[in-house]
A and B are shown apart, each in its own frame.
Chain A
Amino acid sequence: MASVCFRELKKNFGATRVLHGISLDIADGEFMVLVGPSGCGKSTLLRMLAGLEDITAGSIAIDDRVVNDLESKDRDIAMVFQSYALYPHMTVRDNMGFSLKLRKESGQRIDEGVAKAAKILNLESLLERYPRELSGGQRQRVAMGRAIVRDPKVFLFDEPLSNLDAKLRVAMRAEIKALHQRLKTTTVYVTHDQVEAMTMADRIAVMNEGRIEQLGAPLDLYDRPANLFVAQFIGSPAMNIFDGVLSNGTVEALGSRWPVSPAARGADGQAVKYGIRPEHLQLGRDGVPAEVVVVEPMGHETELLVKINDIDLIVVMHGRSAHVPGERIFLAPQAANAHLFDAASGRRI
């Protein structure tokens, strides 16, 4: 178990700067998710922690010990790769015991370690199989087993679920989370999937273009996104965002007045982006008029795609809906849940 600390970490690939001074503290036992679109630098950050990429500037410390110049194997970390990276010519048992074998542990110690990890992950019946004889989910579990066997200070996951189908992904998500709750090993988990980030993380670092846009607990990010990028990235379906102008404590946008949270500050006449999550747009007898374009019933909720002045918005209603395409409805946005961002800087107001 260990804490991890990035200080002003920079990374250049040739002339291209991919990380612009990342500082981030990960507490002992924490499940930290790095999330962002592809190319945002999250995988590079993880690989630098793993010792697979050189550090251009700054430092990485594990348990207050700077590891910049340590080999991967001396950092006491274990990594699970997106492609599983299982050794194809070794059985599950040999795959899982490989690191112990390299450490020259005794045969008995290796067997014990493998047996323990196999029990945790329900792999006992698969130990003599080769990776090619396993399904995607089983391979991913073996990859996790290989990490567990080492009993490392930090687990690193690099998009481990991306190669799995949707149903399996949900199951493995829960499995990894349960595993973390059981082992309480510090974990750094990289994904581009904000649902994974939201459901698994203790804290999320949202990254974009080599910077951390916001760091916080999942629901804090959801409730108070610090800027437009985070607002758009976190949440599914995404937050509705459109241009408007502040005026007398409301926002004029799309030909209507939209209520604003009393906490929001800003000057009259200021150009803003108005953001509201789909579930916070309720239907009312009056309010902002809109036209229903598409109705998507999910069973437990219904998504309505509506149009106002040629701008598409999404409304999520709990339960079922009798609305039909072409119908005129009125939206009643909830002031307390409205988000305001400065149009120029994108920052939350």
Chain B
Amino acid sequence: MNPRFVREARLWLIGIPVALWTLLPIYHIFLFSISTKDSAFSGRWWPDHPTLRNFGTVFRQEHFYLHNFWNQIWNSLWIACASGVLTLLIATFAAFAISRLRVRGGRTVMNMALFTYFIPAAFLAVPMYKAMATYGLLNSRWSLVLAMVTLASPYAIWVLKQASDRLPWELDEAARIDGATPLQLFRLVYVPLMTPSLVAIGTYALLLAWNEYLYGFLLLSHENTIPLAVGLGHFLAADDSPWELLMATALVYALPPAAIYYAFRRYMVGGLTAGAVKT
């Protein structure tokens, strides 16, 4: 047989199960969200009477669990954006200082930050709760933002540091001779050249915060401060959960990340793997 055919056949053999594995749950969510309450558990591949009414119910907040839908999605957005921006600021400055200004002890700081990943986030939840309580931040969206920044920053610093290391050193020297101060070097040379990596890391932190459940559940408990992820969890508190509404909300919740990823996909692949190989 044609070796190319064999190779492609093997790829398909792996690709098709993986695609099914990934897409089936999403299809399931979609199926639920267009089904009526009675037919949601019918076990069919397509509902008898597909409907978009569930989405209407969600958007008009016409259910007990959905009374704060718009509020919660706004919280999610606010927290995700704030986490993304803060992580990006911290990681960019840190990577610039460690990689380009070669601050003494910079590498140690980065390695210590990375070391925190040895401790599972779930273990850190309790001390984090305690710390937020001490600062009086419980039930403030800032508590979740700060927690997410803490979790995202080490990786962000590491990726950006690796990416900065690949910028030619002569550029810094040329800029210094041209008369640039470190801040001008940062603003006029470093940031423009790092843009792809910065977009990737900003998106990474944003999506991390958008998808976070555990910390949101723990640190925020008011109906009007929680993000939608936690709000979705509340659906399961009832014996008779409205699954079709839960899935419709979940589908809406899943769209922004997909859109963001699609918009920045060019940067995501290049940016996140930029630091992967030491060259």
Does A87 contact B171, Cβ atoms closer than 8 Å?
A: yes
**B-side interface size class:** 10 to 19
Residues 80-109 of chain A, each 1 if its beta carbon lies under 8 Å from chain B, else 0: 011101111100000000110011000000
Does B179 contact A99, Cβ atoms closer than 8 Å?
A: yes
Shortest beta-carbon distance from B180 to chain A in Å: 6
Q: Please name 28 pairs of A and B residues whose Cβ atoms are closer than 8 Å in the assembled complex, sorted by A.
A: A50-B173, A51-B176, A51-B177, A52-B173, A71-B176, A72-B173, A72-B177, A73-B176, A73-B177, A77-B177, A79-B173, A82-B170, A83-B168, A85-B173, A86-B174, A87-B171, A87-B174, A87-B175, A87-B189, A89-B193, A98-B188, A99-B177, A102-B179, A102-B180, A102-B184, A103-B179, A146-B174, A150-B178
Residues 53-80 of chain A, each 1 if its beta carbon lies under 8 Å from chain B, else 0: 0000000000000000001110001110
Given contacts A85-B173, A99-B179, 10 further A-B contacts (CB under 8 A): A50-B177, A52-B176, A79-B173, A85-B168, A85-B171, A85-B174, A102-B180, A102-B184, A103-B179, A150-B178
The verdict on A99 contacting B168 (CB below 8 Å), with A87-B189, A88-B193, A89-B193 known, is no
Does B170 contact A81, Cβ atoms closer than 8 Å?
A: yes
Please, how many angstroms separate the alpha-carbon atoms of A169 and B80 in the complex? 54
B192 within 8 A of A: yes
B192 contact set on A, CB distance < 8 A: 89
Does A85 contact B193, Cβ atoms closer than 8 Å?
A: no
Query: B16-50: which residues lie under 8 A (CB-CB) from chain A?
Result: none
The verdict on A79 contacting B174 (CB below 8 Å), with A88-B193, A89-B192 known, is yes
Residues 144-179 of chain B, each 1 if its beta carbon lies under 8 Å from chain A, else 0: 000000000000000000000000101101111111
Residues of A within 8 A of B (CB): 50-52, 71-73, 77-79, 81-83, 85-89, 98-99, 102-103, 146, 150
Does B184 contact A79, Cβ atoms closer than 8 Å?
A: no
Shortest beta-carbon distance from B250 to chain A in Å: 41
Look across to chain A and name the residue whose beta carbon is closest to the beta carbon of B177.
A72
Pairs of residues from A and B, 9 with the lowest C-beta to C-beta distance, nearest first: A85-B170, A73-B179, A99-B178, A85-B174, A102-B179, A89-B192, A72-B177, A81-B170, A72-B176
A51 contact set on B, CB distance < 8 A: 176-177
A77 contact set on B, CB distance < 8 A: 177
Please, how many angstroms separate the alpha-carbon atoms of A87 and B185 in the complex? 11
A78 contact set on B, CB distance < 8 A: 177
A73 contact set on B, CB distance < 8 A: 176-180
Please, how many angstroms separate the alpha-carbon atoms of A78 and B178 in the complex? 7
Does B170 contact A83, Cβ atoms closer than 8 Å?
A: yes
Residue of B168, B170, B184 with most chain A CB atoms under a 10 A cut-off: B170
The B contact surface, by secondary structure, is helix
B184 contact set on A, CB distance < 8 A: 102
Query: B170-208: which residues lie under 8 A (CB-CB) from chain A?
Result: 170-171, 173-180, 184, 188-189, 192-193
Shortest beta-carbon distance from A71 to chain B in Å: 8
B175 contact set on A, CB distance < 8 A: 87, 98
Shortest beta-carbon distance from A84 to chain B in Å: 8
Residues 215-228 of chain B, each 1 if its beta carbon lies under 8 Å from chain A, else 0: 00000000000000
Shortest beta-carbon distance from B150 to chain A in Å: 32
Q: Which of B168, B178, B193 contacts A98 (CB 8 A)?
A: B178
Does B179 contact A81, Cβ atoms closer than 8 Å?
A: no
Shortest beta-carbon distance from A4 to chain B in Å: 16
Residue of A77, A85, A86, A103 with most chain B CB atoms under a 10 A cut-off: A85
B180 contact set on A, CB distance < 8 A: 73, 102
A103 contact set on B, CB distance < 8 A: 179
Please, how many angstroms separate the alpha-carbon atoms of A50 and B175 in the complex? 12
B178 contact set on A, CB distance < 8 A: 73, 98-99, 102, 146, 150
Please, how many angstroms separate the alpha-carbon atoms of A79 and B171 in the complex? 12
Please, how many angstroms separate the alpha-carbon atoms of A126 and B222 in the complex? 61
B170 contact set on A, CB distance < 8 A: 81-83, 85
Look across to chain A and name the residue whose beta carbon is closest to the beta carbon of B185.
A102
Residue of B170, B177, B184, B192 with most chain A CB atoms under a 10 A cut-off: B177
Look across to chain A and name the residue whose beta carbon is closest to the beta carbon of B180.
A102
Shortest beta-carbon distance from B188 to chain A in Å: 8
Shortest beta-carbon distance from B185 to chain A in Å: 10
Please, how many angstroms separate the alpha-carbon atoms of A137 and B168 in the complex? 19
A150 contact set on B, CB distance < 8 A: 178
Q: Which of A79, A87, A88 contacts B177 (CB 8 A)?
A: A79
Residue of B168, B171, B174 with most chain A CB atoms under a 10 A cut-off: B174
